[in-house]
Structure 1
Amino acid sequence: MNITENFTLEEFVHSDTAIIKGIKNEPGSRDKLAITNLCAKLLQPLRNAIGKPISINSGYRCQELNAAVGGVPTSQHQKGEAADLSIEGKAGDLLEVLEDSGLPFDQAILYRKKNFLHVSLKLEGEQRKQIIIKQ
């Protein structure tokens, strides 16, 4: 099911860990609303701005999956409000485009060594526009 032109619900909930461990990673209706919000207001506009494909490494995670992958208990992934993104090349380029774009976001965490960018967008409440860079 397409959420936006370049993002599907299937890729947002896909997890090799969930498959291996037999975890049912299905978002609820509020989670689906948050996923749609994230894709429509942040991921698709970011994809359009960078002009090349963005891969979702990790999107929605149910509580059991989040624990299985070592996610923090308060992870926004559990609410459908976060995604870990990769592009061909350096993920830092994606952060640069995000910073220049003026798009709304709650958090952007660049993982340089692992070469991905975590982004989040709250469904409700004020966005922190917090940028963190980890080695």
Structure 2
Amino acid sequence: MEAISKYITYAKAVWSDTAIRRGIVNKPGTREMRAMKLVGEMIHTVVSDHFGFSIPFASFFRSNVLNRIIGGSANSQHVKGEAIDLDADGTSITNAQLFYWILENLKFDQLIWEYGDKQNPAWVHVSYVDPTIRANRRQVLRAIRVNGKTQYIPFVKAQQ
């Protein structure tokens, strides 16, 4: 199978322990592959080149079935191949550094500070949409849990 981008193989982009364990086919169609290649090129490659190493990611493409089983949002851009969850834990940078660099330097549709605390998110969700389909919104959110449920609120930078 072809590469998604400079640093992302097809196998890694569709990998899911849950899908393997449950026998779920996690295979993108042509439209999703196009979207994944754009996310790879416009987000992952640019970020990785800036920081000097391939930024690890926890989730990229999810089929509708897989997304439903893991409790993903019904409107998840992962299903469309438009979103990737970056996680710099164990590298020379923090997820907060990654988040702020993307915020200040890249075009994106959504950038989400996923859980964690006010100093560092647990991971960084970032999506990108083909601008010939619609404009990228530059929506910046924070995911929090309230009574066991995820809520997305506007992101407000923590006071230093």
TM-score normalised by length of structure 2: 0.78
Matched residues, number: 134
Deviation string for 1:56-114 (max 9, x for gaps)?
A: 2011000000001100111000000001111124211101111222x210001012426
CA distance in 2 between partners of 1:108 and 1:71 (Å)? 16
1:92 alignment partner, SS class: helix
CA distance in 2 between partners of 1:72 and 1:112 (Å)? 15
Task: Return the offset for 1:52.
Answer: 3.0
TM-score normalised by length of structure 1: 0.92
Moved more, 110-119 or 19-28: 110-119
Deviation string for 1:32-75 (max 9, x for gaps)?
A: 00000110111111111222331120110000000011001110
RMSD after superposition: 1.4
2:31 alignment partner, SS class: helix
CA distance in 2 between partners of 1:50 and 1:112 (Å)? 23
1:72 is aligned to 2:76: no
Task: Return the offset for 1:122.
Answer: 1.2
Unmatched tracts of structure 2, length 5 or more: 145-160
Shift of the 24–73 alpha-carbon distance from structure 1 to 2, 3 Å rule, reads same
Q: Displaced runs of 4+ in structure 1, greater than 4 A?
A: none
Larger-Rg structure: 2
2:8 alignment partner, SS class: coil
Aligned residue runs from structure 1 range 32-111, under 5 A: 32-87=33-88, 88=91, 89-101=93-105, 103-111=106-114
For the Cα contact (< 8 Å) 2:4–2:13, is it kept in 1? no
Unmatched tracts of structure 1, length 5 or more: none
For the Cα contact (< 8 Å) 1:90–1:115, is it kept in 2? no
2:141 alignment partner, SS class: strand
Q: 2:125 aligns with which of 92, 97, 118?
A: 118
For the Cα contact (< 8 Å) 2:60–2:85, is it kept in 1? yes
CA distance in 1 between partners of 2:103 and 2:76 (Å)? 22
CA distance in 2 between partners of 1:4 and 1:106 (Å)? 19
For the Cα contact (< 8 Å) 1:11–1:56, is it kept in 2? no
CA distance in 2 between partners of 1:59 and 1:3 (Å)? 11
